[in-house]
Structure 1
Amino acid sequence: MSDLHIDSNQFGAFEIETLIQTLQDENIDHLHIAGDISNDFKNISQPFINQLCHHFPVSYNLGNHDMLGMSEEEIRQREIQIQQFGDRQLVSLSGWYDYSFVPEKSEEEHLKNKLLYWFDRRLERTESDPTITNHILSQLESVLQQTTSPILLSLHFVPHDDFILHHPYFERFNAFLGSRHFHTVFKKYPITDVIFGHTHHRFGSRMVEGIRYHARPLGYVREWELCKDFLKTFPSYRFKEDYHPYKRYRKIQHVPEFIEFKKKQLKKEFQDALTILDL
């Protein structure tokens, strides 16, 4: 799973219990979260992880939202982890971005947009985005060079052009989604599956040059499929701009029928955001 955003999504006891029950019903014996658990790792994410660990092992890699309030040293300490599952290894990392998805703009233009619009302007990173990405790629190569087992890889950021955004409004943010250089590195090693998030768009599973990519981020409530399904089930609440996630959610979030519908559909939403691998 990725992009749970449990603070923004206002996870309470019901949501957490439903998530745990969903995972148990799916016979999950190890949960890995590919970043963006919350905006406060110490006070929100860690207690949440501890709660889940009472039911099954949990591992994670950081997303950009998890890094809020962390020092560069704290981020780097969590950058790359390796776990063994039978004859396969799970290599997990946060990743980062280097603007390579939008090469036609200068680094200065990207930085200006980032400081105006992007969440990461709140982070205390000490180097430029391309420098951070190059450092991570180099570190990753060093790890992968020592690995002969089949590899599963999890990262938060987008590793290939196939998964960038094409809506005119969102295209300017592609620069901050990830780097095409991750896939270039992946191709050199025995990586079978890559799980990532960050875009809040569920691409499902897709094969790219021999690597199976999986992207099923949970995302914000306003983006969930159950919001669209609610309007199909209760068409009387439809309105002219209900295609717009923000406006749609503002319109229905306090409607009693929606509150009840959300409770009933929450398990399905969690299931749709799961990538399950049998190892």
Structure 2
Amino acid sequence: MKLLILSDLHCDNNHQRLGKSIVPAVSSYIREVAPDRVLVAGDMAGGADRCIRYIEELEQNSGVALSYIPGNHSIWTDKRTDSWHEYEKLRDHHSSLIGKPLLLGTDWAVIGDMGWYDYTYREDSWSREECVSRKESYWRDAAFARWGMEDEEVTDRMLDSFRTQLEAHRDRRVVFVNHFIPYDDYVPISPRNKVWNMIRPFMGSSRIGDLLDDMPHVEHVIFGHVHYRFGTKRRGDKLVHCHPLGYTSEWQSQQIEKEIRSASCVIKL
């Protein structure tokens, strides 16, 4: 079984920046790799409808089924709806992993959900109130992610979803997918980049990592969001994969095919 891992394609944003769609190049690469399944760890585009349109376009053009979990951009909305509406629309799509583990053969399961953040990555000197203030100043979720509850409460709900599914599949080896950073190793404090330090509280939750570390049957951990390609690293008995495509302004080159190849990972089960 061969899985192709992608994240943070931002098809809408990158189309605007490049003046052309990245879907043909991504589809061509999927056909070249010829995986049994493509897993995308969030942020296909902004809002559920755009995500679904790009998911279906990729599936049609590549001929390979895709499994998706939302990122923060995926649930962005305007004042006419809320983010749960976007989340549920993505949950109900055939590509969704939300509450629907993908069982592969007799041994493996792919388990995933969006995840969220709870300010556990803030600097020690920052209060929660300072994090909220910085979010309103620096982070677009403050305007477009409309949960109707606090970030910590959203994270609690995601952790409950993870825990329930992981417990229910202790008899299988697990590939875990969420959008947000589960381990603080991937959220270092920068001595030079003040903006990065400002947005660290919104990168994920150490509680997700704590849960995964208590689950020895989780063998692969996949996430994105950070827009930095950490690659694949071993963490104890797990392999951790972070290969986001990100925005064109963050690429090492303007060669779409080269960047897509660099921002991908193949897992053979």
Q: Give the TM-score of the pair, scaled to structure 1.
A: 0.81
Residue in structure 1 matching 2:135, options 114, 119, 132: 114
Q: How far apart are the structure 2 equivalents of 1:80 and 1:116?
A: 34
What stretches of structure 2 of length at least 5 have no aligned partner?
Answer: 1-5, 92-97
Q: How does 1:67-86 map to 2 (within 5 A)?
A: 67-69=75-77, 71-74=82-85, 77=88, 78=91, 79-86=98-105
SS of 2:102's equivalent in the other structure is: strand
1:112-153 Cα distance to aligned partner (Å, 9 max, x none): 111111011121111111111122112211221111200001
Q: What's the CA shift for 1:17?
A: 1.5
Aligned to 2:12, the other structure's residue is in SS state coil
SS at match of 1:125: coil
Give the share of equivalent positions with the same residue, in percent.
27
Runs of 4+ in 1 over 2 A off after TM superposition: 11-15, 70-81, 165-168
**1:6 lines up with 2:11 in the alignment:** yes
Partner of 2:161: 139
Q: Helix, strand or coil for the counterpart of 1:145?
A: helix
Within 2, Cα distance between the matches of 1:8 and 1:186? 32
Q: What's the secondary structure of 2:259's corresponding residue?
A: helix
| 1:78-122 deviations in Å (ceiling 9; x for gaps) | 344311112200001110001111152211111111111101112
Instruction: Name the amino acid aligned to 1:82.
Output: P
Q: 1:201 to 1:150 in 2, by over 3 A?
A: same
1:81–1:93 Cα contact (<8 Å) kept: no
CA contact (8 A) 2:76 2:83 kept: no
Task: Structure 1: give runs of 5+ residues left out of the alignment.
Answer: 227-261
Equivalent residues in 2 for 1:179-218, closer than 5 Å: 179-189=205-215, 190-218=217-245
Q: CA deviation at 1:72?
A: 4.1
Give per-residue Cα distances to partners, 1:137-193, cap 9 Å, x unaligned.
122112211112000011100000011143332112110000011111012221000
Matched with 1:232 is none
> For the residues of structure 2 that align with 1:206 and 1:80, how far apart are their CA atoms?
27
**Structure 2 vs 1, CA of residues 75 and 211 (structure 1 numbering), >3 Å: closer, same or farther?**
farther
Deviation at 1:19, TM superposition (A): 1.2
Q: How many angstroms apart in 2 are the aligned matches of 1:81 and 1:34? A: 15
1:276 paired residue number: 266
The CA distance in 1 between the partners of 2:68 and 2:14, in whole Å, is 19
State the partner residue of 1:64.
Answer: 72
After the TM superposition, which of the residue ranges 63-72 and 213-222 deviates more from structure 2? Answer: 63-72
- 8 Å Cα contact 1:81/1:91 also seen in 2: yes
Aligned residue pairs: how many? Answer: 241
What is the root-mean-square deviation of aligned Cα atoms in Å?
A: 1.7
Q: Distance in 1 between matches of 2:21 and 2:127?
A: 46
Structure 1 Cα separation of the partners of residues 24 and 45 of structure 2: 17
Taking a change above 3 Å as real, the CA distance of residues 103 and 132 of structure 1, as seen in their structure-2 partners, is farther
Comparing both chains, which one has the higher relative contact order based on Cα–Cα distances under 8 Å and sequence gaps of 6 or more? 2
CA distance in 2, matches of 1:65, 1:131: 19
For normalisation by structure 2, the TM-score amounts to 0.84
Paired residue secondary structure (2:133) = helix
Q: Call closer, same or farther: CA 1:46–1:76 in 2, change over 3 Å.
A: closer
Query: What is the Cα deviation at residue 12 of structure 1?
Result: 6.8
- What's 2:3 paired with? none
Native 8 Å contact 1:40 1:68 kept in 2:
yes
Rounded to whole Å, the distance in 1 between the matches of 2:185 and 2:59 is 34
Quick one: which amino acid aligns to residue 135 of structure 2? Answer: K
Deviation at 1:75, TM superposition (A): 5.0
Secondary structure at the residue paired with 1:205?
strand
Task: Single out whichever of 141-150 and 75-84 deviates more from structure 2.
Answer: 75-84
